Structure 1
Amino acid sequence: MLAAAAVVLGVRLVVTLLDGRPLDLVGAGLSLLATTVIGAALVPPLVHHQRRLVHRGRA
């Protein structure tokens, strides 16, 4: 999860640099942290729910 968020953020930072705009590294770090924490909190329950639906034949 962290790696995926870091790749997306890295691409966004490269585009920002190429456009000549200033980098907001603090904002980027907070965005990376928030994405990782929210993803780690939400993905396991969603996967569990999906597996239950598949087991019941509803997905």
Structure 2
Amino acid sequence: SWDVFALEAELKAFAESEGVGFGKIGPPTRMALTAGSTSPDIARTLSALGRDESLGRLDDALQQTK
């Protein structure tokens, strides 16, 4: 589900599965989504942008790192 609470849980689970704190994944995720270093809560940003737009922006950011 692409709602704020589910997204928060997924982000937290991902950070834990990678053995890092959210501070390690938050800033690059925020930059990929908003092209800025500040934004509302990441889960709320994902929800507001919608699934397709969010995934597209994340994919674009990943492509730029290759």
Give the TM-score, by structure 1 length: 0.42
Give the TM-score, by structure 2 length: 0.38
User: Considering only CA atoms, is the larger Rg found in Structure 1 or Structure 2?
Assistant: 1
Structure number with the higher helix fraction is 1
